[in-house]
């Protein structure tokens, strides 16, 4: 059964703030440009944002972020979101929601970055620092993060269905080889912290350098290979090499990283909901992942 379609707009946020946090009722509410899909984000005055999950699956992430982000933040080399308050279901909105401190910065588009190689090493340093934080009690892979940090086998059926659907459109033989190699490169290490969705839209730039990392909804502890997808979805050439050199993972983790990236790209190309631009970007990602496998194996 489909969830009822919700209207999540500034009027709803205004009502929620006014009734639950009257100390902020004088502050204007307005949508954030590129405010997200999994969660809808709104400005609250100049210094705060309101973030509302758009579906029940994303609502599982609210309590996790409020519990763990304040513990992670002091141990990381870049700012991450600071949760200020949790809102209750009300006004026809069925889930808990969040108020965060606003973080200045633009989303990390290539044109906004002065030195993409430096950007790559700064991001790798951040992820290495995240991995080194004590994972005790952290959230294991599950529904809250769509099994990021767990076994790629969760998505085996979905990947093979996409491969079957794309026969004659992509090099499915090579892609199957890469996928099988990723499945065989089993994770044997202790669980470590990972972000779970390292994408340009979750990286902020100020003064043309990486300045913050946001949206920890799919974070958790486990296998960090899911955080390697940025290698092929954003970096190229020297920046890709710089990221690989600095991220400090073994060949098996790199193989699983290719697997996570390939899964998402394949289902995007095979999916009926992808627009042409998304499909073309994902085809390029597939090509780069397959080329990477040939280069390093």
Quick one: average pLDDT of 260-276?
Answer: 91
Q: Where are the domains of the chain?
A: 10-101, 106-296
Domain 10-101 has CATH 3.30.200.20: yes
Q: What count of residues does the chain have? A: 297
Question: pLDDT band at 275, cuts 50/70/90?
Answer: confident
Q: How far apart are CA 220 and CA 135, in angstroms?
A: 9
Quick one: average pLDDT of 288-292?
Answer: 98
Question: pLDDT band at 215, cuts 50/70/90?
Answer: very high
Question: pLDDT band at 46, cuts 50/70/90?
Answer: very high
Structure confidence at residue 297 (pLDDT): 84
Question: pLDDT band at 35, cuts 50/70/90?
Answer: low
pLDDT reading at 266 higher than 90: yes
DSSP three-state, residue 271: coil
Residue 125 contacts residue 246 (beta carbons within 8 Å): yes
Strand partners, 205: 106, 210
- What is the enclosing helix (H) or strand (E) of 244? helix 237-247
Q: Any idea which architecture 106-296 has in CATH?
A: Alpha-Beta Complex (3.90)
Quick one: average pLDDT of 215-220?
Answer: 97
pLDDT reading at 223 higher than 70: yes
**Average pLDDT of the chain?**
95
> What is the edge-to-edge ordering of all strands in the sheet holding 48-53?
29-31, 39-44, 48-53, 97-101, 83-87
Q: How far apart are CA 194 and CA 230, in angstroms?
A: 13
Structure confidence at residue 1 (pLDDT): 42
Residue 141 contacts residue 150 (beta carbons within 8 Å): yes
Model confidence, pTM: 0.95
pLDDT reading at 151 higher than 80: yes
Close Cβ partners of 188 (under 8 Å, ≥ 6 residues apart): none
Structure confidence at residue 281 (pLDDT): 95
**DSSP class of residue 45?**
T
Q: Which of 4-13, 94-103, 167-176, 217-226 is least confident?
A: 4-13
Question: pLDDT band at 90, cuts 50/70/90?
Answer: very high
Question: pLDDT band at 37, cuts 50/70/90?
Answer: confident
């Amino acid at each position: 059964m489909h969830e009822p379609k919700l209207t999540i707009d500034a009027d709803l946020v205004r009502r929620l703030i006014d009734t639950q946090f009257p100390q902020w009722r004088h502050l204007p509410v307005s949508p954030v440009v590129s405010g997200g899909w999994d969660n809808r984000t709104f400005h609250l005055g100049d210094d705060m944002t309101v973030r509302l999950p758009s579906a029940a699956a994303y609502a599982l992430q609210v309590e996790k972020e409020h519990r763990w982000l304040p513990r992670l933040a002091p141990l990381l080399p870049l700012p991450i979101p600071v949760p200020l308050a949790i809102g209750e279901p009300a006004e026809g909105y069925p889930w808990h929601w969040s108020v965060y401190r606003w973080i200045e910065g633009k989303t990390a588009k290539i044109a906004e970055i002065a030195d993409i190689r430096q950007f790559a090493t700064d991001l790798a340093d951040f992820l290495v620092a995240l991995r080194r934080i004590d994972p005790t009690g952290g959230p294991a892979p599950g529904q809250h993060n769509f099994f990021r940090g767990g076994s790629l086998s969760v998505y085996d059926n979905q990947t093979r269905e996409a491969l079957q659907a794309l026969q004659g459109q992509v090099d499915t033989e090579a892609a199957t080889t890469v996928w099988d190699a990723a499945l065989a490169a089993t994770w044997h290490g202790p669980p470590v912290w990972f972000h779970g969705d390292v994408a340009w839209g979750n990286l902020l730039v100020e003064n043309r350098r990486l300045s913050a990392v946001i949206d920890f909804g799919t974070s958790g502890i486990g296998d960090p290979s899911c955080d390697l997808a940025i290698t092929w979805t954003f970096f190229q050439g020297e920046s890709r090499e710089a990221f690989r050199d600095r991220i400090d993972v073994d060949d098996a983790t790199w193989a699983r990283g290719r697997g996570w990236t390939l899964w998402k790209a394949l289902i995007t190309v095979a999916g009926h909901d992808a627009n042409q631009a998304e499909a073309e970007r994902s085809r390029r990602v597939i090509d780069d992942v397959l080329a990477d496998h040939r280069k390093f194996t």
